[in-house]
Amino acid sequence: MDLQLTEEQLMIQQAARDFAQTELLPGVIERDEHSIFPHEQVKKMAELGFLGMMVDPKYGGAGLDSVSYVLAMEEIAKIDASAAVIMSVNNSLVCAGLEKYCNEEQKQKYLVPLAQGDVIGAFCLSEPEAGSDATSQKTTAKDMGDYYLLNGTKNWITNGGNASTYVVIAHTHPEKGHKGINAFIVEKGWEGFEIGPKENKMGIRGSDTHSLMFTDVKVPKENRIGEDGFGFNFAMGVLNGGRIGIASQALGIASGAYELALKYAQERKSFGKPIIQHQAIAFKLADMATHITAARMLCFKAAYEKDCGQDISLSGAMAKLYASTTAMDVTTEAVQIHGGNGYVREYHVERMMRDAKITQIYEGTSEIQKIVISRGIAK
């Protein structure tokens, strides 16, 4: 693995950095405070190719590698984690799954507009009593011959209100366990498909999170992804790649908080000198920088292995676990370094600390990542 970034990767990184500073930073506090979805900013992300970064250009994507995706995600999450998770879901969970597993007709109909950013997508797995445990879900898709009849509820769905295309995981043959699960492409506006109220969240408040209710929704047979019973393998494959996106988001949150803390420590004076010259603060920053660098390397490793076609279940879980822990630890220390100023909104770090917590929860909690890792190292 070559740790030297290519010219193209550096260009992508700079483009994402410029976009974050000029388009996302203005108004980020207001969007967080009032839970405002960044409609205009998402449109501009689409124009830059950030909503279908790794999709083949023949399907409307940018055709970039996964390392470029990590770089862009980090820069955007440094400024606005809400925008980053919108981007992550569309790239890692929706576009990646459709490109890898859908047939040509499905790709032309659904993947192309998603990759171009004409619409955004949502991945619907979690339920009131089933998070990452796909085998425990209650949503059903009864085979009616020419169509499936979809019934159930999905919870905590990112992009739930603003998406147009939804990938929904449901049981068709509950008696078969994980072999009886299917994945379907569902469109907003279909009869019986209802979007619940927006969740009032602690963090990533600019992204929209909803419950979705399906009551006798008719899903055409041609909207099933893969063969009958393929849904569990589809979901696990998509989640493996999705962990790289969430790890990159966590990395960006940590990196952004660190940069703010470093700048503040260089400017803020105490006892006649900048507080960075006090060993207590300097050592905090040293630990933060070290953990961020380690998290970045884990993200790069998982992305590199993905591009090489390797199994990333272990490396993706490690990156997600370590980066999310780093995000929580670093943002907490960033607030501490800012002192009282860290507790007010205008300094950004309190928002970053709130945003960081979700990275330890979604795409599988930290405990689930440890299960994945322990199983991987036991092989």
- Would you please indicate which residues are annotated as catalytic (active-site) residues? 363
Q: Which amino acid type is present at position 178?
A: H
User: How far is Cα 342 from Cα 177, in angstroms, rounded to an integer?
Assistant: 49
Ordered alpha helix ranges (H), 271-365: 279-307, 313-338, 349-358
User: How far apart, in Å, are the Cα atoms of 160 and each of 105, 113, 196, 358?
Assistant: 24, 17, 9, 17
| 151 CB burial (10 A radius; 0-12, 13-18, 19+) | middle
- Output b/e per residue, 234-244; b: 16+ Cβ within 10 A: bbebbbbbbbb
Q: Which residue carries 């055409």 as its tokens?
A: 220
CA 372 vs. chain centroid, Å, equals 18
68 in Cβ contact with 304 (< 8 Å)? no
